Amino acid sequence: MSETSTTTRLPVAILPTVVLPGATLTLQLSDPRLRQAVEAARTDTNGRIAFVTDPADTLGVVATVPDVGKLPGGEPVAIVQIDTRAYVGLARTDEAGGDARLTAAVDPIIDPTPTERVTAAARELRAVLELIAPLRRSRRLPEILGSTRAPGALADAVATWAEFADDDRRRVLHAVDLADRVDAISSWARNHLAELQVAETIRNDVSEGMDKQQREYLLRQQLNAIRKELGEGDDDVVGDFRDRLEQLDAPVATKNTIAKELDRFERMSSQSPEHSWIRTWLDRVFDMPWGERSDDSLELDTARAQLDADHYGLDEVKDRIVEFLATRKLRRDRGIDERDGERATRGSGAIITLVGPPGVGKTSLGESVARAMGREFVRVALGGIRDEAEIRGHRRTYVGSQPGRIVRALQEAGTMNPVILLDEVDKLTAGGWSGDPTAALLEVLDPAQNHTFRDHYLEVDLDLSEVVFIATANVADTIPAPLLDRMDLVRLDGYTEDEKRFIANRYLLPRQVEQAGLRSDEIDVGDDVISAVIRGYTREAGVRTLERELGRLVRKVTSKVATGTETPVIIDPDEVSAWLGRPKVTDDVPERTNVPGVATGLAVTGVGGDVLFIETTAFPTGPDAEPGLTLTGQLGDVMKESAQIALNYVRSHADELGLDDEALRRRFHVHVPAGAVPKDGPSAGITMTTALVSLMTGRHVKPTVGMTGEITLQGQVLPIGGVKQKVLAAHRMGLTEVVLPKRNGPDLDDVPERVRDEMTFHLADTYDDVAKVAFA
């Protein structure tokens, strides 16, 4: 759209040719009417005049006449500068001084502020014009590009410079809309550039002469002869590809696709860019292990023994693997060919997801499963991937394109039925414009669909139904629900102290001794020393930090042995701090809870179960502090709501809890330490309630009690998740009593028996049950 200024009446003259804004021209005033119009403009309208090419045309231009003079021959001329387009109304003849002058109502058209689209189109037009300038060898065009900034003025200037025909120039004049005007000039510029480039190519080809053509021809013939002698010619490559295709044990549809691409490759010129694309694609396709499969080791007892030898505990995972092998064995023994027919292949693979804190053996378990099954093992690290093409591959048309990680894993394994470990699947992130890799995994991890998985690069169906996928994750909450629905979740909730001690003796310590170059008889580390390391230097669900500390201990022994110390070096439990430094963790629950207003809660984080303290305080209300609640500790929305529910429950049950009005007419502050760590979830509800009641009544919370559970406004205690991890965390911290929601009672069966025997569990249905335990 254009904006118009105030209507004015100006002298009007008719020109035989179309002129555009921005142009400057010299008019001969031999026509009396033109001369009268110019004189009227100079005397009556400060030199402003309107021009049209057709009296019936309502669109013309407004110009300025800065000077009038005479040519050397005495002919009068005027210098005219065309300013803007204008709507020219009906002309009329004015009689002034005996002269008949033609005037009209004129509305100048002012170009509006260009939109983003117009600005982008003008930028593209400038780029094309910069290419035209050297081909036209024009000095005027660079001047226009350097001095003209407005998109509309640029279009008008280019049309004037290019010396358009009157009809073309009239179309530009009538293009009042900026977008239409710039698009029209852009279209002309692109066509003109193509014409100039063709002409330039023809000139160059002709100028090079026949000598160069003859030389290139001879060189190419010699090059082809050399390649043929070396066996590197395209004919030999095609023949090799065809031989490999005949021997390929791939599905018929895949072989047909390869044959079509091979025909195209054979007919295509080696100078074509697509020639190298197709050859690279053929190499990638033939690198796939079509028809190659590992023979499963279906001896169930041997497989179970292998799993037990590699990992301690993890019975649920081992049972799932043995069940999978038992299914394969039974189908084989009964003559059911899993590869016979599409229906048989669906669901024959396995997708197991190991969810648990770091250091519990999720990643190493995948390699152990592959050994137990007699299959190849490939690990695919997914942490931080944010591009869908990493899973599905790139389109062949992209420079540097390649297949996705699933296809590359099959190529690395060399078989179509390996064990593929998808490590850290919970660390995948959506990449915005680059797609969502978790969505790309939906087909990969669906047993009903992955028998026809299609990589964007290969564009042929791949049967992934025989692949055993094992995914690992620290938490399941960040895995999208559709992807989680396709997984067989197996939770690894961490180890007890006894299990850690066993793992250290059987796996960790021997490995560190071997890596340090020691012999087993040169170092003596007893169970009491390992227990001291576990209690004083680690507080984790897994054993990664434990192995790191044992490695430090072994290396210090190595340095002494290397300097001639008598062996064996015996580590005394009382000297652990002399070897490893002061303890890194302490049991600070009694110290933290020795004042009213502090309660011990249990939570699950990305590193397993953990103990968190809920601290509360209160201060009188005043001008700067009104009754209410302040929350700190980087809490999530759900946890903030839990704190508000806890305070409102206490207020509404003040009589039952023995609280007076004065205790409630204060502002309360609830803080959860470790403020740099985000926290969320409803399971701290009863802990917050207990901390507030402790603060208001002045009663201490028992330091040996940890608690977890969601609370309602009526005081009901609702069930939560992660019971096993929370109980193990309480056990590590030295707590002897745990308060759980009553409906979580069956979950205690997952807790190791040794831990259950050492701890007392209280199942609460309402908050009254919690208070009886917390303040006993």
Question: Annotated binding site for ATP: which residue ranges?
Answer: 356-363
Instruction: Find out whether the peptide bond into 55 is cis, omega within 30 degrees of 0.
Output: no
Sign of CA dihedral 532, 538, 540, 544: negative
Gap between the Cα atoms of 552 and 428, Å rounded: 33
Gap between the Cα atoms of 220 and 34, Å rounded: 70
Spell out the residues 6+ positions from residue 50 whose beta carbon is closer than 8 angstroms to its own: 10, 11, 12, 13, 60, 61, 62, 63, 86, 88, 104, 106
Angle between helices 544-562 and 527-537 (to 10 degrees): 120
Q: Which of 759, 704, 752 is nearest to 724 (CA)?
A: 752
- Binding residue ranges: 356-363
Widest distance between CA atoms in the chain: 133
Active site residue 187: no
- Residue 228 is classified by DSSP as H
Gap between the Cα atoms of 750 and 733, Å rounded: 19
Structure token digits, residue 175:
């293009």
Gap between the Cα atoms of 203 and 221, Å rounded: 26
Gap between the Cα atoms of 389 and 376, Å rounded: 25
Gap between the Cα atoms of 473 and 353, Å rounded: 7
Gap between the Cα atoms of 24 and 21, Å rounded: 9
Active site residue 212: no
Q: How far apart are the first and last CA of the chain?
A: 81
Gap between the Cα atoms of 348 and 354, Å rounded: 19
State the DSSP H helix or E strand holding residue 728, giving kind and residue range, or none if neither. helix 723-732
Query: Which among 294, 348, 683, 694 is annotated as catalytic?
Result: 683
Contact criterion met (CB below 8 Å) for 314 and 352: no
Helix (H, G, I), strand (E, B) or coil at 44: helix
- Which sequence positions are flagged as catalytic? 683, 726
